[in-house]
Structure 1
């Protein structure tokens, strides 16, 4: 179970690379709808992706929407290309990295809305791409960390260049809460064991980010958690999937709300208006807490915070 779920996380974290584009076939008339929307789901069988799609569909009930599930499709671009060659869409909502990568590969000029993509930062400067980030805003995460464990003074974070901006924001918010965010940059996964172990000796807890180097593979992800456990340091994460790997606390994006946010962005674009920003952080969140880890690491937990927990692990 742990291995399977870890692989799911790593699929989310894969970096979408640019490559040769496939252009939709212009031959023949393509029916035009100014309000038709295409929803491309990387894998509808995954509950987290289902929640996002359901939230989107409910918010735009009555709209002309076509759905496409890329689950178990070894050649997703071919299936998508068939749809794009026969219909024209005003906007495309993609859920997950596979869906976004397929759309970007075929038609990078399309008007795209996305969610559940960890590598969203590489798309934030694209004029025609709008999305909801995969993680809760740094200031919200830091606030929850402080609320649950008020005695923590130093939180460590390992990051690559992709997350430099996020870490900088995190440092500012942490300082406002009386927390020192101790950061360690990594460029190669081969350096991760040394950098992680050195950092864990300096901090009270480790904050895990959706990072393409730190979470490059199943082995690198497990390594970070194993080192933290060996040093008796709690891990704070951004997805409940990490709880099975040993995270102590996770501040998770509410995926149904994420889908509704994507729907609002889509509606704004259909009305020929510009969204406030190209990327929004999730408006809703849920919290997972592992009480076994709290006891094992002898952490000073604010018991008043237990009322905010959505998922409590006690065994």
Structure 2
């Protein structure tokens, strides 16, 4: 419930929140990406009880160090900005609520009951409608295919194309 509250706070709030005894760790994929910086700063301005901020950056990461740090803090929630941050948090935590945002194709991620997220992806049907609107003369669209990254997306797009 606390995680759902944080997710909604990100979307709709103009107020700073502090939850009694609730600790939040922010795990950020890369602070050189402009949209990640904006999301991170807005989140910090809304949530007063951030226990720590961990930046993964573009270099290789020490998974063991991050796991140890998160265990020492013992947060109620880890807020993950970006795909890499979510995947790492999922690997190094078990009973901690995870909230993700700015994650591309999140459907491919392993999920638990205590995982919540904010998706800003357009549904496949909407993407196809936009192609048709902007490029009305195009009859075929090519897709770079990978079972790992976009199988579900392509399956849903094909299903929606038949409608």
Aligned equivalent of 1:147: 133
1:63 aligns with 2:30: no
Aligned equivalent of 2:109: 123
CA pair 38-166 structure 1, distance change in 2 beyond 3 A: same
CA pair 72-164 structure 1, distance change in 2 beyond 3 A: closer
Aligned equivalent of 2:22: 35
The C-alpha deviation readout for 1:116-136, integer Å capped at 9, x for no partner, is 334632335422222234742
Structure 2: distance between partners of 1:53 and 1:91: 15
Shift in Å, 1:107: 1.5
Structure 2: distance between partners of 1:34 and 1:164: 41
Structure 2: distance between partners of 1:111 and 1:41: 16
The ranges of structure 1 where at least 4 consecutive aligned residues each deviate by more than 4 angstroms after the TM superposition are none
Shift in Å, 1:38: 1.1
Matched residue of 1:151: which SS? Answer: coil
Kept in 1: contact 2:101–2:118 (CA 8 A): yes
Kept in 2: contact 1:37–1:93 (CA 8 A): yes
Q: Which of the residues 50, 59, 83 maps onto 2:37?
A: 50
1:167 aligns with 2:161: no
- Unaligned runs of 5+ residues in structure 1 are 1-32, 177-315
Kept in 2: contact 1:41–1:68 (CA 8 A): yes
Kept in 2: contact 1:112–1:128 (CA 8 A): yes
CA pair 72-143 structure 1, distance change in 2 beyond 3 A: closer
Q: Which of the residues 66, 89, 106 maps onto 1:103?
A: 89
CA pair 46-164 structure 1, distance change in 2 beyond 3 A: closer
Matched residue of 1:38: which SS? Answer: strand
Shift in Å, 1:114: 1.6
TM-score by length of 2: 0.68
- Unaligned runs of 5+ residues in structure 2 are 1-19
Shift in Å, 1:157: 2.4
Kept in 2: contact 1:77–1:103 (CA 8 A): no
CA pair 34-117 structure 1, distance change in 2 beyond 3 A: same
Kept in 2: contact 1:41–1:70 (CA 8 A): yes
